[in-house]
Structure 1
Amino acid sequence: MRKIGIIGLGHVGATVAYTLVTKGIADELVLIDQNEEVAQAEKLDLEDTQAGLITHTQIMIQDFSQLRDAAIVILAAGDSSIFSSGDVNNRQAELVVTSRVVEMVAPKIMASGFHGILLNIANPCDVVTTYLQRLTGLPYQQVFGTGTLLDTMRMRRTLAAILHVFLQDIQGYNLGEHGESQFTAWSTITVGTRPIKDLLAQHDTDIPGLEKAIRSRAWQIINGKGFTNYGIAAAAVTVIQAIFSDAHTTLPVSSWDAEHQLYIGQPTLIGRTGVLRVVDVGLTKVEQQEFNHSAVYIQKHLNSLAASSLR
């Protein structure tokens, strides 16, 4: 039984639910939100949607006990009002909201008897994923976040447009924090069998400017409509399908890094049981320094979270 729980039915959570239903990926869907009316409305709307589909998804709402036998539970909580207030770069403001959600829902998830995979979408993704694992006590392999998967998708789309090539021919990763300290691991990127830097040199590409454009793409979307939802929902569904199909595919998700003792975006082999292993892609010395810098940035926010909990 492909049973999935979604906690948080804002723009992202609702889009994930819609995608799972319309693609026929979930047999059962448990929707939970702090607003009862929102949860009920999403249930009714998704049930109406199914009238035009050949697949069926049973939808339940507001019942943590139903998570007991869920294969995957997704945390999609957030507060888009932070962005509408103009405070778009304030990761700490996001963390204040999402950490409280984790503190509230983690005990309820575990009290249900849940023993499946926890997939975090909530931001700041790496910090919240680390906190979620700490509070649930689930094995590291069963807790991970979408990490830099969306950033990698944006990178590949940008490069495909510049080079006028098929997007699927571009392989490689953005790594580190899902945020401002992420970086493009150029040494991992190929187009077909050719190293990306060879092609970019032919186009006289401004690589620092290109990296900035990739990082700032999210803010362009947020400035226009106040939030992002389609891209991150597609990233989450990609991970879900990799789990259900036991794909053994490498995705740059936020997984546990034993060296830094936190979750961070890195190439990770994903299958039915969750994280199978972290994949070593042989970063250059400079890229490894960028990765370490990103880990320090994540740790800084984890430290602030620990300090605030002691007050």
Structure 2
Amino acid sequence: MRKIGIIGLGHVGAALAYTLVTKGIADELVLIDRNDQVAHGEKLDLEDTQAGLTTHTQIIIQDYWQLRDADIVVIAAGNISIFDSGVNIQQAELRVASQIIAEAAPQIMLSGFNGILLNITNPCDVSTTYLQRLTNLPHQQVLGTGTLLDTMRMRRAIAEELSISPKDVSGYTLGAHRKAQFTAWSTITVGTQPIKHALAQHCTDLVALEKAIHDRAWQIIDGKGFSSYGIAGATITLIQAIYSDAHVTLPVSSWNTDHQLYIGQPTMIGRTGALRVVDIDLPQEEQAAFNHSASYIQQNLDLMVASSPQ
């Protein structure tokens, strides 16, 4: 029996729930939101969706106790309105995230939950670190989506530039999701060819390409007011890797022992969560960028703790 919980039914949580149901990935789905009407509406809508499917998912709402035997719980709560509020977005995001985690973590653990926690809530790496701290679950059982979506965007952009399939592009975007992420060019290959050789043949401007990769999320938000499908798809990839015990390496937010926090790094994923961090030998400038990302996360973690309601 595959049981998944989702806390937060905004654009991302709803897209994730819809995908889990239509792909038949979950046998039971527990939906929790601060707004009872939203949770009830999503339940009804998802039940209607199943009328034409060959699979069935039992939908349960607004019951933290039901998380006690869940395999995976996803934290997808947030407040997109801060982007239109005119306030300091970084401070507002930290405050909102700290409130969400401080409210949800105790209730999750009171249920007896001992599965895998997946965090989407931004700032992802900071929130994932704080979530693990409050739940005290083993590090391997707490993960953030990290730079998985950013890596997907990078591969898509390179594939588009070279007119090839994204599946032919390997490599990672690493570091702190969004603000301090970076493309680890040294890890990227097209087939067996180093990426810089492939792009040089197309006279590609690497600086412009990296900016396009980084700006992709903001283009989506500017267009539709939020982003949802990409991150929901990335989360599905992570969930399926867990359920299938895939032992696949994904650039998710996992525990870094050197920096003592969560950060986007290549991590082998299996049935019990993060099996191990996959070490890669970064050149000096990329290692410096990784260390800068860790410092950025730590600074914001300190601010999150300071703003926490606890």
For this structure pair, what is the TM-score category when the shorter chain's length is used for normalisation?
A: over 0.9
Task: Check the 8 A contact 1:2/1:70 in 2, yes or no.
Answer: yes
CA deviation map 1:15-44 (0-9, x unaligned): 000000000000000000000000000000
Task: Check the 8 A contact 1:2/1:26 in 2, yes or no.
Answer: yes
1:216-235, aligned counterparts within 5 Å? 216-235=215-234
Which deviates the most, 198-207 or 266-275? 198-207
Percent identity for Structure 1 against Structure 2: 71
Tell me how far apart the structure 2 counterparts of residues 240 and 306 of structure 1 sit (CA, whole Å).
29
Tell me how far apart the structure 2 counterparts of residues 273 and 205 of structure 1 sit (CA, whole Å).
41
Tell me how far apart the structure 2 counterparts of residues 310 and 240 of structure 1 sit (CA, whole Å).
31
- Shift in Å at residue 282 of structure 1? 1.4
The 3-state SS of whatever aligns with 1:209 is helix
Residue 104 of structure 2 corresponds to which residue in structure 1? 105
- Shift in Å at residue 91 of structure 1? 2.5
**Any stretches of 5+ residues in structure 1 without a counterpart?**
none
1:223-302, aligned counterparts within 5 Å? 223-302=222-301
1:58-69, aligned counterparts within 5 Å? 58-69=58-69
1:77 pairs with 2:77: yes
- Shift in Å at residue 98 of structure 1? 1.4
TM-score normalised to structure 1 length? 0.98
1:126-137, aligned counterparts within 5 Å? 126-137=125-136
Moved over 6 A (4+): none
> How many pairs were matched up?
310
TM-score normalised to structure 2 length? 0.98
Tell me how far apart the structure 1 counterparts of residues 230 and 308 of structure 2 sit (CA, whole Å).
33
- Shift in Å at residue 309 of structure 1? 4.0
Residue 36 of structure 2 corresponds to which residue in structure 1? 36
Residue 56 of structure 1 corresponds to which residue in structure 2? 56
CA deviation map 1:34-65 (0-9, x unaligned): 00000000000000000010000000000000
Residue 15 of structure 1 corresponds to which residue in structure 2? 15
Tell me how far apart the structure 2 counterparts of residues 164 and 310 of structure 1 sit (CA, whole Å).
50
Tell me how far apart the structure 1 counterparts of residues 140 and 202 of structure 2 sit (CA, whole Å).
41
Task: Check the 8 A contact 2:12/2:228 in 1, yes or no.
Answer: yes
The 3-state SS of whatever aligns with 1:264 is strand
Look up the equivalent residue of 1:258 and give its one-letter code.
Answer: T
The 3-state SS of whatever aligns with 2:180 is coil
Look up the equivalent residue of 1:57 and give its one-letter code.
Answer: T
Residue 186 of structure 1 corresponds to which residue in structure 2? 185
Look up the equivalent residue of 1:37 and give its one-letter code.
Answer: Q
Tell me how far apart the structure 1 counterparts of residues 86 and 175 of structure 2 sit (CA, whole Å).
25
Which deviates the most, 207-216 or 24-33? 207-216
